[in-house]
Chains A and B, each alone.
Chain A
């Protein structure tokens, strides 16, 4: 059993989606995250154990990304592998059999159409056991407010890549703060700094996805 979970975590870390996937070359022809997740469920491993295997893999790749040992494409592949496992686990999330660490609502702020950085954060956070609601790009303050209203206790992540759009973070932070003062808000993106996060009243800033996970875990505990 433990062997399957370990194999699963290796598939996630190395971005091995399924048997047909040719990447990574060293695992060509072998089962991927999809097949192993299915085998694990069939062999009676608890869904929560499978999620833990996922988390171990995502944590390792996230840390390597933070140390500049792997790069955006490798992280995207790991996230793709993780998504196939999440499909298997979906019913158990819905029934509540598998608990997650919390809800993370994330989006790129109004006027900004950049997706990848925010998406990487969303994927790594999800892979570390959080339910993620990705609102996409060019997300209005109203949309953030509406979602936070529907998900009491959620944490929020705001992303911006541009100096012309990071200013829109301030408005969103202020509106969320005013109506939902307990909500934890993280900000990130190329021009964003810890200083700026403090200045606009956010709870935290992370320079990379794994940093966002650490911050969320700390804020949620």
Chain B
């Protein structure tokens, strides 16, 4: 079985013989660039600076040689532009405050503020205020909130739709070429075409826009899901209609080279609870998720991928009803997210893409033997009858001991009979 066949079988809830593995295919299943660099060194791969292909969380690109060593089965297609609104091109060297020399895109333009924080500019334009801040000794950026004063009477939904427009021929051509490239790797392919995330709090501040308008403050956005529901409905309605029109244009260009489409990274869970009630989810979000998922299922062979951190067990039934095929990152450390119970209750109806090892405790702070034990146990629990793609619970953070990451990779190989 090729990697791609294995991924497809697992997505179809069929036994695959071994657990398919993802690292680096999306912005929520990756590794910090410092970890990628450390792994390259550990495995004795060619010495060269690692590319930061996702500059917001400073995720490192896993190139073919490292993918092969780890045994990765999924290839990613990234959005046309990064979260800071520039393309991944014209690479240049940059020194990570806390780590090695890396490569960043040419428009990755930063300055230091008085407190030694690193500030980055939207679309590389240094004539406008910066949109991201990496704290001194930090590992990645957070959005700088650029919220204009809100006048209730002048709120215009168009302001929150600036980033959602018709896809251009240039972008379609990019996805066509990327699909060809990704398919040629022989791995399963996941694509993030953009524009399908409903109220993802990482996207609301619009770190990619030079002058964001509308509701861009994180707290105001959460409040709006309660107090300005008509406004939010209008955004989601328009946005999802635009997204379907874009998918209609992208589909012929990429065809069945794509196996999975990344729909949305909106987090509905906290460590112990949810961000909204099941009723609110079903009235405010589900109709628009359904519109996207229904079109995809009626017109393509793609499976749909939903990321949400936290304690989302009460929402899983509704996520399935909304048409999602895949749940990530399966945060087993959150309330109600016991892996055995999740697999038993939902395992035949939704694919768990993640849940492989805890990244709040075990991976960053545990011992290699504890990492091994947890990886083996999770593979045992989640892999029965397919429906499982191995990934850590969200990205591997920059301060994770590399020996723990290696212990995880070796445990995976042990489980898969490749040790």
Contacts and interface: CB of A to CB of B under 8 A. Distances in A.
A61 to B, nearest CB: 13
Contacts of A76: 219, 222-223
Most buried by A among B135, B219, B227, B398: B227
Contact of B399 (A116, A164, A191): A164
B129 to A, nearest CB: 16
Query: Which bucket holds chain B's interface residue count?
Result: 20 to 34
A23 B133 contact: no
A111 B138 contact: yes
A138 B134 CA distance: 11
Contacts of B276: 71, 73
Nearest to B280: A71
B397 interface: yes
A198 interface: no
A116 B218 contact: yes
Interface string A206-218: 0110000000000
Contacts, number: 72
A191 B360 contact: yes
Nearest to A190: B271
Contacts of A68: 272-274
Contact of A191 (B137, B226, B277, B361): B361
B397 A163 contact: yes
A71 B275 contact: yes
Interface string B141-157: 01000000000000000
B135 A77 contact: no
A194 to B, nearest CB: 13
A77 B399 CA distance: 36
A207 B333 CA distance: 13
A112 B360 contact: no
A73 B139 contact: no
A133 to B, nearest CB: 20
Interface in B302-339: none
A77 B273 contact: no
A76 B218 CA distance: 12
B223 A73 contact: yes
A201 B219 CA distance: 32
Nearest to A69: B277
Contacts of B275: 71-73
A191 to B, nearest CB: 4
B137 A163 contact: no
Contacts of A114: 142
Nearest to A191: B360
B223 A77 contact: yes
Contacts of B14: none
Interface of B: 133, 135-139, 142, 218-219, 222-223, 225-227, 270-277, 359-361, 364-365, 397-399
- Lowest 10 CB-CB distances: which A-B pairs, in order? A73-B226, A191-B360, A113-B142, A23-B227, A190-B271, A111-B135, A68-B273, A163-B364, A164-B399, A73-B222
Interface of A: 15, 22-23, 65, 68, 71-74, 76-77, 110-117, 119, 138, 162-164, 167, 190-191, 193, 207-208
7 contacts: A23-B226, A65-B273, A73-B225, A77-B227, A112-B135, A116-B218, A208-B273
